[in-house]
Chain A
Amino acid sequence: MSSIIDVKNLTRRFGEFTAVDNLSFSVEKGEIFAFLGPNGAGKTTTIKMLTTLLKPTSGEIRLDGHDPIHEQNEVRKSFGIIFQDPSLDDELTAYENMEFHGVLYGVEKTVRRARIEEFLKVVELWDRKNDLVKHFSGGMKRRLEIARGLLHHPKILFLDEPTIGLDPQTRNHIWSYVQALNKKEGITVFLTTHYMEEADRMADRVAVIDHGKLIAIGTSAEFKEKTKTSTLEDAFIALTGNTIRAEEVNAQDAMRMHRRAWGGRS
């Protein structure tokens, strides 16, 4: 098999703080790859660098053979992404958000119309398609984001905590859909999640990072064996320790805001 994502010695600093620390790994073509780690581990930052949104401090990236820094357009053609943070236009309707995305990604009109209907039905928003997104509940917005992210079929699909805040039914629905997409069209899936059973069920391979560093990479079975645990969740905790990250992250965020307030660009 050949790899479709190659990361070598990837580092990203914000001021003195190192969010991603000398990370190296690769993802095989057609693989479902789970990228796990506690809050603030550097998952989203890594995805931003892979998807041309953020420049690395140092290191090398190849996405489908292209470099996200110098060949942005080629790279952008190869992936689709569902962001962790909201990215909808609240002042547009659900349908308009979908349409906007479809046109922006050059999905041909008949296919676009058909898929918009299909996906809005999958996430049960078809009845609400002409409502402004600002009147949607959090979960409805999330579902719309997912429907929109699946509208075009790229080579690589990045899913940054796609199922956060969704009910179990919808989560199952979405994961089965992603799995089918992976099987049928050979789309490579790069996902992050804090639901370990999702990662266990979905992923061919799992990488765990903490404090920006790669701690372990392998199959879920290998993880359990190595840590002598019976679930991926226990293996994850064994690997990353028991401390809660929110406090550390908050301390860092506070420092960051402090720096900003004093005019430093972080």
Chain B
Amino acid sequence: MNVIYILWLRQLKRYTRSKARMIGSLGQPLLFLLALGFGFGPIYEQAGGGDYFQFIAPGIISMGILFTAVFSGIEMIWDRQFGFLKETLVAAVSRTQIMFGRTLGGATVAFIQGLAVLVLAVLFGFRPQSLALLPVAFAAMFLTALLFTAFGTAIASRMEDMQAFPLIMNFVMMPLFFLSGSLFPLQGLPAVMTDIAAINPLSYGVDALRATLVNGSYFGLGIDFLVLSIMTACMIVLGSRLFSKIQL
């Protein structure tokens, strides 16, 4: 427990000490929120979709979480390069504990980032449908954060340096985001698109947020939480496996 706590604390301290990073990583979500939210708003409304800003806000919150989470996971590569990883690797602590502590820390950071995007969205006019459902929304946000931090850590366990990072950015993270239904409704899309969305774990995070924040679910909230939980558990197990295989 103590070990998990100290690993969690370390991630949090590193994050809160880097003000540039905290603010910098809000830039992209904010841009998407404003440019797309207000830019496509009129067309969306004319087409009978309703308020696009309300619709897109949960998607952008998920995006903020996704990016911060994967980054915090992948950050482990820096630990490898700056040598700190050795310090944790030789400790007589189970790899699962180390993996879990780090992931929890990274996920907390990503969750905070998601909250910040939510607050920004509210400042620009977003209105959650019900305050009572807010805790459920937070749960979905945290699960999403946990899932993708574990995912980032798993990737980092297999990488020696940052060279493959652009690859991951363009071929993993961007597709995850754009093909998740975060920007458009999944209803009535061609089957290819909905099939892809259905195998994309981020879709369930977005969907759960939409269900709780604006009332409009595609998969159903129960399914969302089921898929998110199972995927998160699998990813943590996989991450621990890969982590314990690291050699220096």
Interface residue ranges, A against B (CB under 8 Å): 48, 51-55, 73, 76-77, 79, 81, 83, 85-92, 96, 99-101, 103-106, 132
- Nearest opposing residue in chain B for A91, CB measure: B14
Q: Tell me which residues across on chain B come within 8 A of A53, comparing CB atoms.
A: 86, 89-90, 247-248
Any chain A CB within 8 A of the CB of B93? Answer: yes
- In the assembled complex, the CB of A192 is this many whole angstroms from the nearest CB of chain B, namely 16
Find A52's partner among B13, B84, B87, B90 (CB 8 Å cutoff). Answer: B90
- Nearest opposing residue in chain A for B13, CB measure: A92
Q: How far is the CA of A86 from the CA of B94 in the complex (A)?
A: 23
In the complex, are the beta carbons of A87 and B87 less than 8 A apart?
yes
Any chain A CB within 8 A of the CB of B6? Answer: yes
In the complex, are the beta carbons of A104 and B248 less than 8 A apart?
no
Given contacts A48-B248, A103-B3, contact A87 B86 (CB under 8 A): yes
In the complex, are the beta carbons of A100 and B10 less than 8 A apart?
yes
Given contacts A51-B90, A76-B90, A103-B2, contact A87 B84 (CB under 8 A): yes
Q: Tell me which residues across on chain A come within 8 A of B248, comparing CB atoms.
A: 48, 53-54
Interface residue ranges, B against A (CB under 8 Å): 2-3, 5-6, 10, 13-14, 17-18, 79, 82-84, 86-94, 247-248
Chain B binding surface, main DSSP class = helix
- In the assembled complex, the CB of B58 is this many whole angstroms from the nearest CB of chain A, namely 32
In the complex, are the beta carbons of B83 and A86 less than 8 A apart?
yes
Q: How far is the CA of A99 from the CA of B7 in the complex (A)?
A: 11
Q: Tell me which residues across on chain A come within 8 A of B93, comparing CB atoms.
A: 104
- In the assembled complex, the CB of B126 is this many whole angstroms from the nearest CB of chain A, namely 34
- In the assembled complex, the CB of B242 is this many whole angstroms from the nearest CB of chain A, namely 15
In the complex, are the beta carbons of A100 and B83 less than 8 A apart?
no
Given contacts A52-B90, A99-B6, A103-B3, contact A83 B13 (CB under 8 A): no
- In the assembled complex, the CB of B104 is this many whole angstroms from the nearest CB of chain A, namely 15
Given contacts A55-B247, A91-B17, contact A83 B83 (CB under 8 A): yes
In the complex, are the beta carbons of B90 and A89 less than 8 A apart?
no
- Residue pairs across A and B with Cβ atoms less than 8 A apart, 12 shown, are A51-B90, A52-B90, A76-B92, A83-B83, A87-B83, A87-B84, A87-B86, A88-B87, A89-B79, A90-B82, A100-B10, A132-B17
Q: How far is the CA of A69 from the CA of B106 in the complex (A)?
A: 30
